Amino acid sequence: MSTAKERLTLLIPFTVVETLVVIASRMTTERPAAIFLYALGVNFILLAIWRVFIWPFFVNPLRHLPTVRGPLIGAKVFMLHPRGSITVDWLRTIPNEGLIHFREALNYSFLLATNHRALMDVLHTNSYDFVKPPGGREFLARGLGYGLILSEGDAHRAQRKAVTPAFTIKNIRAMYPLMWTKTQLFLSQLEKEIRLHPVPGVQHAEVAGFVEIGGWANRLTLDIIGPAAIGRDFQSLENENDPVSQNYSAILKPSADLILLFGASLLLPQWLVKLIPCKANIVLPRNVRYLRQVFHDILREKRKLLQSEKSEQEAADGDILGTMMRGGEFSDSELVDQMLTFLAAGHETTAGAFTWCCYHLCIEPHIQDKLRQEIRETIPSSAASVSWQGLEGMPYLNGVCQEVLRLYPTVPMTGREAIRETTIAGKKIPKGTTIALCPQSINRSPEFWGETADQFLPERWIDTDPETGKQSPNKHGGASTNFAQITFLHGPRACIGKDFAKAEFRCAVAGLFGLFQCELKDPKQKITFGGTLTSQPMEGMNLKLTKIGGRE
């Protein structure tokens, strides 16, 4: 015997059809256009009633989950910055078994994954039951192409398999000399910058000045990922007008236009979003065309190198592009998509983490002082060479970097949409349901991190030998599960470059804080979180840098 819910589910579509038949029979046959429009309007109204008022409250199996109610809850979750920050309190105040339910303005359901089991199901166990929401994915693809980050299903499996050899720990550790050389150049350029913009009234012998560190961070990380990913040094540290750097900045820098287009993409088809009369819709295609042309030129040069007297192995080794070309799985257009993706993800995210690190160490200078002491004990001068063992073995440096990645996730929120009926934490999830994955709240969850979840404590990432007192870095921070921190996600869709990002992050932090004392240019300035995909300070990060003596 069918249940009342099943009967209601079956009844609604038939009711719509019967209503249309009755209306059509009562209309005169001399007005076919009127019949069609009238029927279309009635059908739309009934469908809207079904989707907005009946399905969400009487049929949807998610309606029994703990639900957050209030005006524009969905908009607040996805649009307030840092995105997802509103959910931090939900994890602390709403009893749940892994899922919290909320609705947007038209009562469309969303789920927030909150515990180990739910996160594991979405990111690992059933990961290919979910895809990135199509609207946001299509918008991001306008700037990044359909590379590894935005590919799905079998295409993603094939791409990840082809690219994985380039990201082995051995290969990444071999890149430390490149990363440190670029960091040394970064420091020398910063010193020139602060001499050009000195702090008024400082002692003549003191080298101190103002910089906007976010822009410099982007140039540093671009000059690292360029040689590592595609074998091209853009030299943007020495050329502030480098066109590749400027075009990427135009694509990725937060602006009201880009935020508008991103929000519209979640609701409207992309062809309609492209018609919105705003500056970003004019500039974005121009920027992307330039970058794609540059990468096509690099690809042609690389092919000539492969055909030269050098062996294919020698020519291809040493960068990600060479690895992908040697495998032969990608067309030229797909290789360009991968280059767009890796250069964007490989420099934007690390630069963001470095920028937020500078911010936090400015507001907690005692942490900065303790970090500087460890750096100077390990690296005698900024001109000295470093080893991966030295950088990865510094306990406090590791702890500071891990806490920045935990409390200031560069991508504070992302989403997944179920492409088939599946389960999360033992709950049946209908096809089409969107799941919010929120590093901004998971990384601060007391369930994982206890009462100190909101505190910046590098010590949680340090183990001390009870017998010798020797300290060493750990990778868990005292949490009982890897899913306590999802900055880089986990499972098949985890960030493939996370170890690369951590390596260049260590180099940049060790270099800057070993040589300079950092303060906010205006200690009273309120920093506004912004950005589309990544979290960035809307005003930039303006610092006062003072060169510390006793070390060159």
CB 98 within 8 A of CB 120: no
Pairing of strands 542-547, 208-212: antiparallel
Cis preceding-peptide flag for 82 (omega within 30 of 0): yes
Per DSSP, 490 falls in state -
Q: How far apart are CA 107 and CA 89, in angstroms?
A: 22
User: Does 495 count as an annotated binding residue?
Assistant: yes
Q: State phi, psi for 463 to the nearest 5 degrees.
A: -100, 140
Hey, what are 545's tokens?
């840098």
CB 307 within 8 A of CB 315: no
Identify the residue whose tokens are 């939900």: 90
Nearest to 317 by CA among 497, 165, 169: 165
Q: How far apart are CA 294 and CA 489, in angstroms?
A: 31
CB 337 within 8 A of CB 142: no
User: Residue 530 is inside which H or E element, if any?
Assistant: strand 529-530
Give the CB-side neighbour count of residue 31, counting CA atoms within 13 A.
Answer: 11
The burial class, CB within 10 Å (0-12 / 13-18 / 19+), for 348 is buried
Per DSSP, 198 falls in state B
Q: How far apart are CA 202 and CA 204, in angstroms?
A: 6
Q: How far apart are CA 226 and CA 247, in angstroms?
A: 14
Q: CB-based contacts of 395: which residues, under 8 Å, 6+ apart?
A: 374, 461, 462, 471, 472, 473
Q: State phi, psi for 496 to the nearest 5 degrees.
A: -70, -25
- SS3 for 330? coil
Q: How far apart are CA 169 and CA 496, in angstroms?
A: 11
Q: CB-based contacts of 261: which residues, under 8 Å, 6+ apart?
A: 139, 273, 276, 278, 280, 281
The burial class, CB within 10 Å (0-12 / 13-18 / 19+), for 297 is exposed
- SS3 for 151? coil
Nearest to 297 by CA among 329, 339, 344: 339
Give the CB-side neighbour count of residue 191, counting CA atoms within 13 A.
Answer: 15
Q: CB-based contacts of 514: which residues, under 8 Å, 6+ apart?
A: 372, 375, 376, 379, 382, 551
Query: Which parts are annotated binding residues for heme?
Result: 495
Query: Which parts are annotated binding residues?
Result: 495
